[in-house]
Amino acid sequence: MQEKSPKDNKKEIPPYENLLRLGLIAFWLSLIFTGLFGFAQVEKIPYSRFLTELNNNKLSEIYVSPEEIKGTLKAADNKVKTFRTVRIDDPQLAAKLAQHAEVFQGVPEDLVWKSLASWCIPIIILFGISSLIAQKIANSDSGIPGLGMRNIVKSGAKTYMESDVKTTFKDVAGVDEAKEDLQEVIGFLKEPERYNRLGGHLPKGILLVGPPGTGKTLLAKAVAGEAAVPFFSISGSEFVEMFVGVGAARVRDLFTQAQSSAPCIIFIDELDALGRSRGLSPMGGHDEKEQTLNQLLVEMDGFDPRQGVILLAATNRPEILDQALLRAGRFDRHIVVDRPDKLGREQILTVHLRKVTCNQTDVVEPMAAATTGFTGADLANLVNEAVLGATKRGATTVELSDFNTALERIIAGPEKKHRLLAAKDREIVAHHEIGHALVSLALPGSDPIQKVSIIPRGVGALGYTMQRPTEDRFLMSRSELENKLAVLLGGRAAEMLTFEDISTGAADDLAKATEIARSMVTRYGMNKSLGPVTYEGETQAFLNGYKPSDMEGRKFSEETAREIDCAIRELVNAALQKAIAILTERRANLEAAAKLLLNKESLTQQELMAVAGPAIEQNVS
């Protein structure tokens, strides 16, 4: 990449600025010389001395103005000096001057020039100083956001040169499909003639789509590291400013920088902050975001990918992006960076455990199995929490127990050991959690129980039953969903059997169970009376949770709505009755396990199986 010479970087000074500087210098020099030579020989004397010298006939050429008296004074060495004194209201002054002065005359007050001097000179000084300061700020290259108009329209992208990008594909794990799709980009940047020889070219824009924390930014930086090219990184929100037109100027500046550094990679993170669908703003086309988006579209149409400028972007909200961005010729290749599967989680844990002192063989496989649904960022946080826990207890190595403790902290929140519960509340919580555990153990296909505890965690959890799937699941049958409902209602069933009363502890369980039952009826078509019909649209958000039913009115009749409510209630009631039947049959196991939990506060899977009895083991097998 060719560097600019110092002469090219030298800024030209406008002619008016030189004239302004010369004028200010001349003005200050005139003031200095006037002070040094104009007033140096003028002696300021008090009025009493003036009268004395006047009576001694030593004054001549006296000029009397309304404010002061000036003249010449004969000193003792016969030298003539100029004097001045402040005039005092003296009615006999004229008579004294006529008697003792050879020549005297009055001087009228020059109000015009005095007013001009008092008003214009300060204004000229202030204008000159402010002009210089404004020019200095406008030409400032300090890099401070918002300092100077020249600086405010700069893109502000972080630039990483070839030697600065140390990240490679070895540092990115669990996204093998995405890395395979990006190999073409690396090959084009390294060997552009290989791809241009048949007339082909890479897509102008490549959009990385995936949930937060899956490694989209890391993947983009790894592409630059593998290709050994400059990397321009900027967030979509950095384009948008208060002033209309600034964002468009920043887009132009970014592409200008990139084309001068080609081959290179431009990476725009959180593209949805910039590329939201147009027409949603009440400001219409005058909205700053829309003008910035329009400029981005124009720039993408204007540059040739054969030049070696690759545009990468990342978002976790592709459903709100403007369709003009997603059409062919702009972001025409979409790469999904999804949550890793078990093998991917093992690879990610291996990467994060490189600098951690632990036995990776004992940690990687069980933690990968227990962290279904975790992203790369979640796994990095898990490793860090485990290391901090081991450091806190003074260990020399990080053990599997540290990872299990860290996993509990992430899922359920930190322990609240100092939150004291009344004896009655502890008994209710113990039976509630054991109810969940026993129903789960009695039903086939349930996720294995890892731990049951009555130690409060997080904000409002007084106890918890920790279940984690051992494999990734993408489909669930109706019977599995019904069993899941029964497990969720196992705590309420245990309270009903033991205390013949119910508490507020099942509020979260009831909410989850109702949501599952509603999805079974309205989305999955699992109710015979309502038939294989969906009454609730699919989620429009690609990765987030809002549904059309949250924003739109329902599209079915009142009679159908009543049938839906009845079907949901039947599913939940049937699940509650199933849980009550299981716990009634195993009432002795319920009491024994609850008593043990009250004494130990936490039970592992082995301890729970030991007190649950052989009947549970048969159902589990």
pLDDT at 187: 81
Q: Find the CATH number of the domain harbouring 531.
A: 1.20.58.760
Residue 464 structural domain: 423-620
The predicted structure's pLDDT at residue 33? 55
Q: Which of 99-113, 574-588, 602-616 has the highest mean pLDDT?
A: 574-588
Mean pLDDT score, 56-81: 77
Estimate the crossing angle of helix 360-370 against helix 400-412, to 10 degrees.
Answer: 20
**Is 133 inside any structural domain?**
no
In a domain, 550, yes or no: yes
Determine, yes or no, domain membership for 131: no
Quick check: 219 and 167 in contact, CB under 8 A?
no
Highest-confidence segment of 78-82, 193-197, 315-319? 315-319
Local confidence band at 38 (pLDDT 50, 70, 90 cut-offs): very low
Categorize the per-residue pLDDT at 279 as very low, low, confident or very high, splitting at 50, 70 and 90: low
The helix (run of H) or strand (run of E) holding residue 71 is strand 68-74
Check whether residue 247 and residue 265 sit in a common domain. yes
Query: Is 132 inside a domain boundary?
Result: no
Amino acid at 138: A
Claim to verify: residue 328 and residue 298 sit in the same structural domain: yes
Query: Could you tell me if 222 and 249 lie in one domain?
Result: yes
Q: What is the pLDDT of residue 21?
A: 67
Lowest-pLDDT range, 181-190, 243-252, 468-477, 503-512? 243-252
**Statement to judge: residues 78 and 63 lie in one domain:** yes
Domain-located, residue 566: yes
Beta-carbon contacts of 581 under 8 Å, excluding residues fewer than 6 positions away, are none
Residue 112: which pLDDT band, with cuts at 50, 70 and 90? low
**Inter-residue contact 289 to 274 (CB < 8 Å):** yes
pLDDT at 191: 77
Helix (H, G, I), strand (E, B) or coil at 44: strand
Lowest-confidence segment of 52-66, 151-165, 203-217, 434-448 by average pLDDT? 151-165
DSSP 358: B
d(C-alpha 283, C-alpha 10), whole Å? 41
- Indicate if 494 and 598 belong to the same structural domain: yes
Q: Give the residue from 336, 360, 393 where a domain finishes.
A: 336
For the question of residue 433 being annotated catalytic, the response is yes
CATH number of the domain residue 166 falls in: 3.40.50.300
**37, pLDDT greater than 60:** no
Look at residue 77 in the predicted model and tell me its pLDDT. 65
Residue 8 is assigned to a structural domain of this protein: no
Q: Are residues 41 and 190 in the same domain?
A: no
Q: Is pLDDT at 400 greater than 70 in this prediction?
A: yes
Look up the pTM and report it.
0.70
Catalytic position from the list 433, 482, 495, 536: 433
Q: Is the pLDDT of residue 380 over 50?
A: yes
pLDDT digits (tens, 9 = 90+) for 490-528: 999 999 999 978 888 889 999 999 999 999 999 999 988
318 and 364 share a domain? no
Asked if residues 169 and 351 have their Cβ atoms less than 8 Å apart, the reply is no
226 with 332, same domain? yes
For residue 243, what pLDDT is reported?
59
For residues 442 and 548, membership in a common domain is answered with yes
Which residue from 215, 236, 177, 208 is spatially nearest to 315, judged by alpha carbons? 208
If one compares 304 and 314, the residue with the highest pLDDT of the two is 314
Q: Is the pLDDT of residue 348 over 90?
A: yes
What is the b/e burial string over 25-50, where b = at least 16 CB atoms within 10 angstroms of the residue's CB?
eeeeeeeeeeeeeeeeeeeebeeeeb
Mean pLDDT of 399-415: 88
Is the pLDDT reported for residue 25 higher than 90? no
Contacts 24+ apart (CB under 8 A), 567-571: 567/517, 567/521, 567/527, 567/529, 567/530, 568/514, 568/517, 568/518, 568/521, 571/482, 571/485, 571/517, 571/520, 571/521, 571/527
pLDDT of residue 130: 74
Domain boundary among the residues 410, 436, 467 is at: 410
pLDDT of residue 284 exceeding 60, the answer is: no
DSSP codes joined into one string, 516-571 = HHHHHHHTS---TTT-S---SPPP-SSSS---HHHHS---S-HHHHHHHHHHHHHH
Residues 534, 504 within the same domain: yes
State the average pLDDT over residues 35-44. Answer: 58
Mean residue pLDDT of the chain comes to: 79
Q: What integer pLDDT is reported at residue 551 of this predicted model? A: 45
Q: Are residues 609 and 484 in the same domain?
A: yes
Greatest mean pLDDT among 17-31, 105-119, 434-448: 434-448
Please report, rounded to a whole number, the percentage of residues in the chain having pLDDT higher than 70.
78
Hunting for tokens 């983009």 — which residue is that? 220
CA torsion sign for 381, 382, 385, 391 is: negative
Whether residue 416 lies inside any domain: the answer is no
Report the C-alpha gap between 167 and 95 in whole angstroms.
Answer: 99
For the ranges 66-75, 108-117, 332-341, 604-613, the maximum mean pLDDT occurs at 332-341
What region does 615 belong to: left with phi over 0, alpha with psi -120 to 50, or beta?
alpha
Least confident of 279-288, 356-365, 421-430, 591-600: 279-288
| 329 or 549, which is more confident | 329
State whether 361 and 429 are in the same domain. Answer: no
Which region, left, alpha or beta, applies to residue 569 given φ > 0 means left and ψ of -120 to 50 means alpha?
alpha
Residue range 295-312, pLDDT digits in tens:
888 888 866 666 678 889
| Mean pLDDT score, 102-113 | 68
* Number of structural domains the chain divides into: 4
How far, in Å, CA of 1 to CA of 7, rounded?
18
Q: Higher model confidence: residue 158 or residue 112?
A: 158
What pLDDT is attached to residue 436?
A: 93
Residue 418, in any domain of the structure: no
Least confident of 94-103, 133-142, 240-249, 425-434: 133-142
373: domain CATH number?
A: 1.10.8.60
